[in-house]
Homo-oligomer: A and B are copies of this chain.
Amino acid sequence: MTKPLLQIALDALSLEKGAADAKQAESVVDIIEVGTILAFAEGMKAISTLRALHPNHIIVCDLKTTDGGAILAKMAFEAGADWLTVSAAAHPATKAACKKVADEFNAAHPELKVKKEIQIEIYGNWTLDDAKDWVELGVTQAIYHRSRDAELAGKGWTAEDVELMKKLSDLGIELSITGGIVPEDIHLFKEIKNAKAFIAGRALVGEKGQQTAEAIRAEINKYW
């Protein structure tokens, strides 16, 4: 059981704003994520720019890849992403294509300190049998979240969420947890053995960002 990492999701509408947010947060986070909004606004330039600016952080490219897996994975990894999100709703062939690109990249670059990996982002109707298929494919990471829109609609974390996370964790899947995470939420997940990272966006940006990051770290240190 390792200590969960802290990840900032950059959801700015422009690379200028995203890069500034990342610069401000770099000393308090382990992972910098080019969120879906920033990635779709600016394209792969967002990845390559953040990669260049933050050579020692893990960079996540949050495309929620749903199709065209081989091409998108190649594009994201070549731009400098370490981890790429793949939608749970993608066809199994898409997940396999992304995994294959990551494996080939790792084999060609044994010097990589951080291996290229895919993260299954859990959306849509899914079952634990699906999750077993991901493990079978060699996937080791998934992202569990409240959808941003569900969050905006006022949906909170439920006991059912935590139960599902425990079951995924028990399958050996490392979980990144996201969806309006604030320090007061961290204790909810203390029973998740394989908690890989907590992801926050707006909470880590702006004046109070550093303070919030420290508060989340303190909670993490309490429970892991």
Interface residues of A (CB under 8 A from B): 11, 13, 35-37, 39-46, 63-64, 66-72, 75, 87-91, 93-94, 96-97, 121, 123-126, 147-150, 152-153, 155
Q: Which 4 A-B pairs have the closest CB atoms?
A: A89-B124, A89-B89, A43-B43, A93-B149
How far is A71 from B41 in the complex, measured between Cα atoms in Å? 10
Quick one: given A43-B45, A123-B124, A149-B68, are A89 and B87 in contact (CB under 8 Å)? yes
A39 touches B36 (CB 8 A): no
Q: Which residue of B lies closest to A43 (CB)?
A: B43
B72 A37 Cβ-Cβ under 8 A: yes
Contacting residues, chain B, for A13 (C-beta < 8 A): 71, 75
Which residues in B have their C-beta under 8 angstroms from that of A96?
Answer: 149
The answer to whether A153 touches B93, judged by C-beta atoms less than 8 angstroms apart, is yes
- Nearest Cβ on chain B to A10's Cβ, whole angstroms: 12
Residues in B neighbouring A89, C-beta threshold 8 A:
66, 87-89, 123-125
Contact B40 A150 (CB under 8 A): no
**Distance in Å: Cβ of A139 to nearest Cβ of chain B:** 15
Residues of the B chain whose Cβ atoms lie less than 8 Å from the Cβ of A67: 36, 64, 123, 147-149
Q: Which residues of B sit under 8 angstroms from A69, Cβ to Cβ? A: 149
Give chain B residues whose Cβ lies under 8 Å from the Cβ of A124.
87-90, 123-126
**A91 contact set on B, CB distance < 8 A:** 123, 147, 149-150
Instruction: Give chain B nearest CB distance to A92 CB in angstroms.
Output: 8
A38 and chain B: residue at smallest CB distance = B43
- Name the distance in Å between A156's Cβ and chain B's nearest Cβ: 13
CB of A172 to closest CB in B, whole Å: 23
Distance A39 CA – B36 CA, assembled complex (angstroms)? 12
